[in-house]
């Protein structure tokens, strides 16, 4: 993928999340069913990093379960972080703070310096990062932030497996690109709530995640499908550093 195309795809998503931050947040506040399955990987006390935290609904989910964790939410959307800060005022157990950070660029993890976390979350994140090499670098960066025995928890949107989601796919020509400009598995989806917009999404495969995990020195603890009306709209993976499973 040419660098200028990759930049355009990132800009499409930045524009989307800034323009539709409030309406998107309103549609993404209730916890996903898959959260109930991953809750056991969180300590009662400890440090949690939520990469691509959006409006911080994970923090609220942890709070309802009485998890007295220190939570850092990072996102590249100032609009969504504003929603997260506003809504985090009601938290009783979780101690939350937020940081504006573009995780779509290699080396994002260096901004966090020597911080280490018991759980690193990247829920519905990797499919918004264009370029296979950059997604692999993201995995290595996330793995580097784990404490010994910590968990990296991922989820990926399986939009191609849903007929209603496939109806959102629009031609690349609508944003001045062609299919030959992007990678296999890359798609452009429309948005029609509170206006019309576009999102770049990559259909992540299990084979891709397995390859990125191996490159990052991670091993799979658990994989499962959950979420959406269909009950399988997201693919979750829980990983830990090799030798610690």
Domain ranges of the chain: 3-159+205-241
The span from the CA of 172 to the CA of 186, in Å, is 10
Mean pLDDT of 216-224: 94
Return the pLDDT at 114: 80
Instruction: Answer for the pair 75, 25: CB distance below 8 angstroms, yes or no.
Output: no
Domain formed by 3-159+205-241, architecture? 3-Layer(aba) Sandwich (3.40)
Query: Which pairing describes strands 234-241 and 218-226: parallel, antiparallel, or unpaired?
Result: antiparallel
Over residues 122-171, the pLDDT tens digits come to: 999 999 999 999 999 999 999 999 999 999 999 999 999 989 889 999 99
**Which token pair is 36?**
């109930």
How far apart (Å, rounded) are the C-alpha atoms in residues 199 and 229? 21
Predicted pLDDT of residue 245? 59
Q: Are 216 and 29 in contact (CB under 8 A)?
A: no
Are the C-beta atoms of residues 108 and 142 closer than 8 Å to each other? no
Q: Which residues contact 140 (CB under 8 A, 6 or more apart)?
A: 215, 216
């Amino acid at each position: 993928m040419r660098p200028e195309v990759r930049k355009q795809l990132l800009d499409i998503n930045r524009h989307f999340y800034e323009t539709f931050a409030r309406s998107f947040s309103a549609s993404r506040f209730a916890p996903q069913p898959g959260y109930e399955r991953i809750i056991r990987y969180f300590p009662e006390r400890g440090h949690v990093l939520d990469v691509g935290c959006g409006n911080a609904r994970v923090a609220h989910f942890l709070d309802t379960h009485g998890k007295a964790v220190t939570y850092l939410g990072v996102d590249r959307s100032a609009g969504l972080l504003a929603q997260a800060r506003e809504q985090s005022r009601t938290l009783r157990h979780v101690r939350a703070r937020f940081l504006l950070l573009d995780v779509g660029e290699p080396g994002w993890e260096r901004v966090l310096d020597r911080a280490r976390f018991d759980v690193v979350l990247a829920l519905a994140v990797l499919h918004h990062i264009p370029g296979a090499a950059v997604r692999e670098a993201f995995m290595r960066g996330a793995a580097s932030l784990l404490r010994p025995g910590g968990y990296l928890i991922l989820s990926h949107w399986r939009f191609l497996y849903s007929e209603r989601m496939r109806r959102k796919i629009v031609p690349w020509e609508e944003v001045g690109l062609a299919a030959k400009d992007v990678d296999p598995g890359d798609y452009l989806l429309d948005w029609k709530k509170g206006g019309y917009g576009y999102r770049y999404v990559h259909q992540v495969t299990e084979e891709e995640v397995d390859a990125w995990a191996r490159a990052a020195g991670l091993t799979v603890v658990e994989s499962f499908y959950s979420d959406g009306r269909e009950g399988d709209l997201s693919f979750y993976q829980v990983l830990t550093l090799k030798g610690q499973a």
